[in-house]
Amino acid sequence: MRTARLNIDTGHNRSLTDLTPQIRSFARQLGDGLINVSVPHATAGLVLMELGSGSEEDLWARLDQLLPRDIRYVHSHGSPGHGGDHVLPAFICPTLTLPVFGGEVSLGTWQSIVLVDPNLDNPQREVLLAFLSDRG
Amino acid sequence: MRTARLNIDTGHNRSLTDLTPQIRSFARQLGDGLINVSVPHATAGLVLMELGSGSEEDLWARLDQLLPRDIRYVHSHGSPGHGGDHVLPAFICPTLTLPVFGGEVSLGTWQSIVLVDPNLDNPQREVLLAFLSDRG
Amino acid sequence: MRTARLNIDTGHNRSLTDLTPQIRSFARQLGDGLINVSVPHATAGLVLMELGSGSEEDLWARLDQLLPRDIRYVHSHGSPGHGGDHVLPAFICPTLTLPVFGGEVSLGTWQSIVLVDPNLDNPQREVLLAFLSDRG
């Protein structure tokens, strides 16, 4: 199994980080197999979505409805709304798996692999990559 | 790795398409392993759910609450509500992986593998299957 | 492929069950690979989240907004709100895959693998584990 760890600086604002270039680079020359992308954090998630056409703002608006950024949460440390950050991974799973064909991660034209970090309090994130090859 | 591409005609209405028979057929005789199902589109997703008992309508009703079909979206081309279609994959991931035992995709009695396509504007969809075997 | 079946007693109240110890125990000594965790039920899901700090209540509160526990559902057998239980797996997927390094399931410090069972009517649940090794 081939593995890598990405260190991502997501800053102190909520952020969507395009991981696609780094993941494509990792997979290149690895042949055929499955690549798993996982975020070992309790307040972040991963999505496959289009970037650059405004859907970023639309996603935050929908998340603000689902997980209001206020003090209603039982889990209540950190910035207002941080309790909702802890619920986010239930709806936006922090792990996903994609096929790789001939070293190319299989994504549609408009799909990017995106780290969703609503968290104002944790500016450094890790992302784990694990590639299981056809040949072991 | 064994792979296949399904071409699905989802039409010009929003649709839930049961992919289970085609995926089961693909996996038959492939032994033990993991099957990945991925949709390379930015406005569709995959769910494991029961079909045929009314949950289809219930899912659309809940999606209409989460992603209202109006013109509020920054990403605003296409039919009204299409901006929400671009947010859908954040909540309904377009890739999932299941175990296969002796050529049988492991699903519960009431589970089907369902392509969720809220999109009125893209009637043709692809679904990618990739099976990684125990034996490579 | 190494496999196991967990039998979980979730009782007649809605429940979040920490599967982490049993999954860690299964993976121990299995080396490097990918582990798939799947729930073969139509009214349950899996999440990676922090337990023990109040996020359990916060998750149920958010689910009660997304999937109100009343009689609005077309799929309407069972307890009030059970129709929503059938929609839950669309938003909280019942399968996920994680990397295993040297027999250790790769999880962050605050992440647990949690079975979400909103269902009052089905007290017994199965969880399937499948480990695909680097060596086949």
Alpha-helical segments (H) within chain C: 20-27, 55-66, 82-91
pLDDT in tens, C22-54: 999 999 989 999 999 999 999 999 999 999 999
Compare all CA atoms of chain C with the CA of B36 and give the residue at the minimum distance.
Answer: C97
DSSP-derived letter for residue B22 is: H
Sheet with A2-9, side-by-side order of all strands: A2-9, A124-133, A33-38, A95-101, A104-105
Beta-strand runs (E) in A10-123: 15-18, 33-38, 45-49, 95-101, 104-105, 112-117
Chain C segment 50-109 residues within 8 A of A by beta carbon are: 50, 53-55, 57-59, 61-62, 65-66, 91-93, 96-99, 101, 106-109
Residue B12 belongs to a domain: yes
CA within 13 Å, CB half, A125: 32
**Number of residues that this document lists for chain A:** 136
Of C106, C132, C133, the CB nearest to A128: C106
pLDDT in tens, A9-56: 999 999 999 999 999 999 998 999 999 999 999 999 999 999 999 999
Give the domain range for residue C120: 2-133
Residue B128 in contact with residue A108, Cβ under 8 Å?
no
Cα–Cα distance between A12 and A8 in angstroms, integer?
12
CA within 13 Å, CB half, B132: 34
Closest CA to C110 of C68, C48, C60, C58: C48
Q: How confident is the model at residue B9 (pLDDT cuts 50, 70, 90)?
A: very high
Q: What is the pLDDT of residue A121?
A: 83
pLDDT in tens, C47-103: 999 999 999 999 999 999 999 999 999 999 888 899 999 999 999 999 999 999 999
ipTM here: 0.96
pLDDT in tens, B59-69: 999 999 999 99
Of B34, B48, B109, the CB nearest to C132: B34
- Domain with B125 in it: what CATH number? 2.60.120.460
Phi, psi dihedral angles at B70 (to 5 degrees):
-140, -160
pLDDT in tens, A83-105: 999 999 999 999 999 999 999 99
User: CB–CB of C99 and A38 under 8 A?
Assistant: yes
Number of domains, chain C: 1
Sheet with A112-117, side-by-side order of all strands: A15-18, A112-117, A45-49
User: CB–CB of A133 and B128 under 8 A?
Assistant: no
Q: What is the pTM of this model?
A: 0.97
Compare all CA atoms of chain C with the CA of B49 and give the residue at the minimum distance.
Answer: C42
Residue A135 in contact with residue A43, Cβ under 8 Å?
no
Strands A15-18 and A95-101: unpaired
3-class SS at C59? helix
Q: What is the pLDDT of residue A78?
A: 87
Q: How confident is the model at residue C134 (pLDDT cuts 50, 70, 90)?
A: confident
Residue B49 in contact with residue B112, Cβ under 8 Å?
yes
